[in-house]
Amino acid sequence: MGGLASVAFLRLAVIVCKYAIQAPLVKGCSAERTDVTNPVARFDRGGSTAELLAHDLTQQILDGHIAPGARLREESLAARYQVSRTPIREALLLLGSSGLVALERNRGATVLALAADDVVEVYHLRAVLEAEAASLAAARITAAALDVLDRSCDQLALLHSAPASRQLEADTSFHYTIAEASGSKRLYALIRQVCAIPEAYRSVMAYTAEDMAAAESQHRAVAAALRTGRRVNAARLMRQHVAWAGKLAVKRLEPWLRPE
């Protein structure tokens, strides 16, 4: 893995270790809500239990169902979602790394108001990791994987007015196919973890027709670089694409963001 991606991995590892020390002290949950459907049973797309939980909690925070200042307690969340405390702990870690909650010793997790810098940082990590994945994939991607990328791009062309969830499905198919084609299971797992929160943003943020046309064009450029084995170009184009998506996320999420 390249130097920048290694730095991103170490950063996430430090967060994991810090939270692992604090986690046994987290108890209960004051942000109760009785009308929550279990996201693990509801979601059809792939992903770990922690990713699905993080996605659902992020939606609730952005929708205002869980307000800034609310305490998220491990035991109550586990009971509410009918899962063990381990995926709850991992989901809170993902929320913490995105800036949505603060993880504090003896206090558990507290919901924060999201700031633009938080969104920028998450997309920066995505750009570092996904550029590395594209670079690795350029040297080993299969014809079958390239066909998946082409079909994903074709789908984007048909979804200009589609709901955000359908747009997201085509988009994540493209990104995760490249991550898997990198051949690095660790890198693929990191990308899935870092993308859990941006996916939740995207699930409530439909792209316009203009946005979708731009995303499709950028995806096709990345796919073309992968098809011809141009590692440097593939990495550069992927980094630029994720940076573009990050700027768009900040713009679209402005109503939810706290002032700097």
Q: What is the domain partition of the chain in residue ranges?
A: 3-111, 116-256
3-111 and 116-256 agree in CATH topology: no
Question: Which of 82, 100, 104 is CA-nearest to residue 37?
Answer: 82
* Amino acid 252: pLDDT: 86
Neighbour tally for 242: CB within 10 Å: 23
The pLDDT value recorded for residue 200 is 75
What would the two tokens of residue 32 be?
């109760």
Q: What is the DSSP letter of 66?
A: S
Q: What is the pLDDT of residue 260?
A: 64
Q: What is the pLDDT along the chain (260 residues), one digit of tens a residue?
A: 444 444 444 444 434 333 332 333 222 333 433 344 455 544 444 568 998 998 899 888 877 788 888 999 988 999 999 999 999 999 998 888 777 889 877 667 999 877 888 889 999 999 999 999 999 999 999 999 999 999 999 999 999 999 988 999 999 999 999 999 999 999 999 999 888 778 877 877 889 999 999 999 999 999 999 999 999 999 999 999 999 999 999 998 887 777 76
What's the pLDDT at 39? Answer: 54
> What is the distance between the alpha carbons of residues 223 and 237, in angstroms, rounded to a whole number?
10
Distances (CA, A) of 201 to 61, 119, 126, 161, 195: 10, 9, 14, 18, 10
**116-256 CATH choice from 2.70.150.10, 3.40.50.300, 1.20.120.530, 1.10.1040.10:** 1.20.120.530
Torsion region of 85: left, alpha or beta (phi above 0 gives left; psi -120 to 50 gives alpha): alpha
Structurally, at CATH architecture level, domain 3-111 sits in Orthogonal Bundle (1.10)
Those residues whose C-beta lies under 8 Å from the C-beta of residue 95, and which sit 6 or more positions away, are 54, 57, 58, 72, 101, 109, 197
Instruction: Name the strand (E) or helix (H) holding 110.
Output: strand 108-111
Report the pLDDT value the prediction gives residue 94, as an integer from 0 to 100: 86
* Residue-level pLDDT at 126: 96
Q: What letter represents residue 148's amino acid?
A: V
